[in-house]
Homo-oligomer: A and B are copies of this chain.
Amino acid sequence: MKKLPGKTVERLSGYRRNLLGYLAAGNNYIYSHELAALLHITAVQVRRDLMLIGYSSVQKKGYDVKELIDTIGTIIDSEQGQNIAVIGIGNLGRAITSYFKGKRSKLNIVAAFDNDPQKVNRVIAGVRCYPVEKMEHIINEQNITIALLTIPPDFARPVADAAIRAGIKGILNFTTVPLNVPLNVYLEEYDMITSIEKVAYFVKEG
């Protein structure tokens, strides 16, 4: 299958999450406009996204919720699952880890890295924390492909580079420092301060 637009992937993730709740509430079928309403988007967008992943409904009853959840899974999950490491298990790293742990069967946070002697070699928020020096070893051993970067900005670049050298293939960067990665590594950046400033701007402008 051709690579999907990033925006579509984001929405698919949202569809699945909302569908799980919808299914749990005892509903087995859903119309495009209903799914759209759950996410506050338009029905056309839903249908277009589903078209892109080649999913078709049994007509007139809407989409089979369970089937659709599974289909989205085959598109966005990898069959064997992927392992994740949190680099920098401070306030934010800990919050994310304890929140995410167990939420997705195909995505597991299996290790944390830190350089604080107080944290190293202990289990924090349910995952073992290793010293950064062992990063290469552990990333290989545990087959970790994704890194969540939550260390102080000053160390973001060198540590990210080290993670990439160790074999990381995707980074979600929460630091305020823009990273530069080779083409074979996928980078997603989220800057919370920017989000807050953006809200402030649009509140001001009305």
If the complex has contacts A200-B82, A200-B107, are A38 and B170 also in contact, measured as CB distance less than 8 A?
A: no
Question: A1-45: which residues lie under 8 A (CB-CB) from chain B?
Answer: 3-4, 6, 9-10, 13-14, 17-18, 38-40
Number of residues of chain A lying within 8 A (CB) of chain B:
61
Question: What does DSSP make chain A's interface, helix, strand, loop or mixed?
Answer: helix
Residue A166 is within 8 A (CB to CB) of chain B in the complex: no
Looking at A89-97, A112-120, A135-143, the stretch in contact with chain B turns out to be A89-97
Q: Are A91 and B82 in contact (CB under 8 A)?
A: no
Q: Closest 10 CB pairs between A and B?
A: A91-B95, A170-B203, A186-B202, A170-B199, A78-B204, A13-B194, A13-B197, A169-B203, A92-B95, A95-B95
Residue A51 is within 8 A (CB to CB) of chain B in the complex: no
